Amino acid sequence: MGRCDGAYSRRVDAPAPGRRGGLAAGVAAYALWGALPLYFPLLTPSDPVEIIAHRVVWSLLFCLVLLQVTGTWRAYVTILRDRGLLLRLSAAAVLLAVNWLVFVHGVTTGHVVDAALGYFINPLVTIALAVLVLGERLRAVQWVAVGCGTAAVVVLTVGYGRLPWIALVLAGSFGTYGLIKSRVGPRVAALPGLAAETTVLTPVAVVYLVVLHAVGAGTFALDLHGLALVGTGVLTAVPLLLFNSAARRLPLTTVGLLQYLAPVLQLAIGVLVAGERMPLARWWGFGLVWLALVVLTVDGLRHSRRPAPPARPAPPA
């Protein structure tokens, strides 16, 4: 196996025309993801499971509309007909549901900062998975970054007297989700992929919502609260489309740097809006994570500027 260069392991291509529009789309995508902690608390008295059930259903319906508008319906059908591909996307869908559920639980129970921490350490989890699952090798600098991330978890655990489980589950579920999606590769575009994943989850979500309303515990109604629940589908698909647009127009290094905008906004919301405390142990833990990210970013930028090795001739057929 080759070495793992983290989020910057792939060759950095020159940006396509429309770089300014791509940057605007990327900033908008991560800003929307970063602002989600402001939205989900507005959905009370719905509990996290009900919120995610609605998010799944309305995301699928919105995706189906977009598939029709963008003319990508055939790609969605192709995924559903490929059993092997659908099986892998089903595993990804379960991880996505876990990620969504834990995130909503965190932001609705006063743990926005823990949620932000999860997305800060996600690049480190991605690297760890590359080593543990794919058998890839790290450079010494990358080991330093992973060590800093591990030390951060230890510091936070000692400071709080418990593991920061929300952050770890978010990072682990999203990191593994990304691993599965990377193995699928270019066969699945963003919109058809999300449509397929929500298709897998929708039967369970619908059954849950039907039972919930049958026992009188459902909160959906034809009012502003119901409209807000429907809006979870829009807030799921729109940032994904914006990100997809940015990824096609921007260099990979720019996209990699933009990814930190979302957890920065979430951290700011947790501290400044939700009023969550930041004791010294938490600052030390975040500081170690930020140090690891700086090391990874500098290392990634340095290696991305190296000229690519000459292509090897293809073996005879």
pLDDT digits (tens, 9 = 90+) for 71-125: 999 999 999 999 999 999 999 999 999 999 999 999 999 999 999 999 999 888 8
pLDDT band at 306 (very low <50, low <70, confident <90, very high): low
pTM over 0.75? The answer is: yes
> Is residue 315's pLDDT more than 90?
no
| Mean pLDDT lowest among 40-44, 52-56, 142-146 | 142-146
Q: What pLDDT score does 316 carry?
A: 39
Q: What pLDDT score does 101 carry?
A: 97
pLDDT band at 214 (very low <50, low <70, confident <90, very high): very high
Contact predicate 46/260, CB 8 Å: no
Q: What pLDDT score does 309 carry?
A: 46
Q: What pLDDT score does 18 carry?
A: 60
Average pLDDT of 44-53?
94
pLDDT band at 307 (very low <50, low <70, confident <90, very high): low
pLDDT band at 60 (very low <50, low <70, confident <90, very high): very high
pLDDT, tens only, 136-161: 888 888 888 889 888 988 998 888 78
Q: What pLDDT score does 9 carry?
A: 40
Show the DSSP H helices in the chain as ranges.
19-39, 48-70, 73-81, 83-108, 112-132, 140-160, 165-184, 190-214, 224-249, 252-258, 261-268, 280-304
Q: What pLDDT score does 21 carry?
A: 81
Residue 93, both tokens: 């869908």
Q: What pLDDT score does 4 carry?
A: 39
> Is residue 170's pLDDT more than 60?
yes
Average pLDDT of 54-61?
96
Between 5 and 59, name the one with better pLDDT: 59
Average pLDDT of 291-310?
73
Contact predicate 52/137, CB 8 Å: no
Between 144 and 316, name the one with better pLDDT: 144
- Which residue, among 249, 246, 253, 248, has the nearest Cα to 302 in the 3D structure? 253
- Which residue, among 93, 112, 101, has the nearest Cα to 53 in the 3D structure? 101
> Is residue 300's pLDDT more than 80?
no
Could you give the angle at the alpha carbon of 194 between the alpha carbons of 250 and 228, nearest 5°?
A: 100
- Which residue, among 165, 40, 173, 167, has the nearest Cα to 99 in the 3D structure? 173
> Is residue 8's pLDDT more than 80?
no
* Percent over 70 (pLDDT), the chain: 89
* CB within 8 Å of 234: residues ≥ 6 apart: 58, 62
Strand partners of residue 137: 3
Average pLDDT of 193-197?
93
Residues 116, 94: Cα–Cα separation, whole Å = 21
Averaged pLDDT score across all residues of the chain:
86
Residues 108, 217: Cα–Cα separation, whole Å = 18
Between 19 and 257, name the one with better pLDDT: 257
> Is residue 14's pLDDT more than 80?
no
Preceding omega of 239 cis (within 30 degrees of 0): no
Contact predicate 262/29, CB 8 Å: no
Average pLDDT of 273-296?
91
Could you give the angle at the alpha carbon of 275 between the alpha carbons of 272 and 276, nearest 5°?
A: 110
